[in-house]
């Protein structure tokens, strides 16, 4: 019984570590984990026309 429990613990730990290894690199690259000062990705460029559109969007109704 004890050896069966250890096998379950080892397999669960291995599987969890495997999934964690796949989920951490995207989080680090996107800046969600770690102390990156620059963000990776596109920043939206809003000119005055687009800003006015979004300001007046509530009044459209």
How far apart CA 21 and CA 47 sit, in angstroms, is: 41
pLDDT at 59: 78
pLDDT at 11: 96
pLDDT at 21: 86
pLDDT at 41: 60
Contact between 31 and 39 (Cβ < 8 Å): yes
pLDDT at 24: 80
What does the domain layout of the chain look like in residue ranges?
Answer: 2-60
First to last CA, the chain: 68
Burial status of residue 43 (CB atoms within 10 A of its CB: 0-12, 13-18, 19 or more) = exposed
Tens-place pLDDT, residues 6-59: 999 999 999 999 988 888 877 777 667 766 555 556 566 778 888 888 888 877
Half-sphere exposure of 10 (CA within 13 A, CB side): 6
What's the whole-model pTM score? Answer: 0.45
């Amino acid at each position: 019984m004890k050896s069966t429990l250890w096998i379950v613990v080892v397999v669960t730990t291995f599987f969890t570590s495997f999934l964690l290894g796949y989920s951490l690199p995207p989080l680090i690259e996107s800046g969600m984990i770690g102390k990156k000062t620059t963000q990776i990705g596109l920043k939206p460029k809003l000119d005055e026309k687009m800003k006015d559109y979004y300001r007046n969007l509530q009044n459209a109704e």
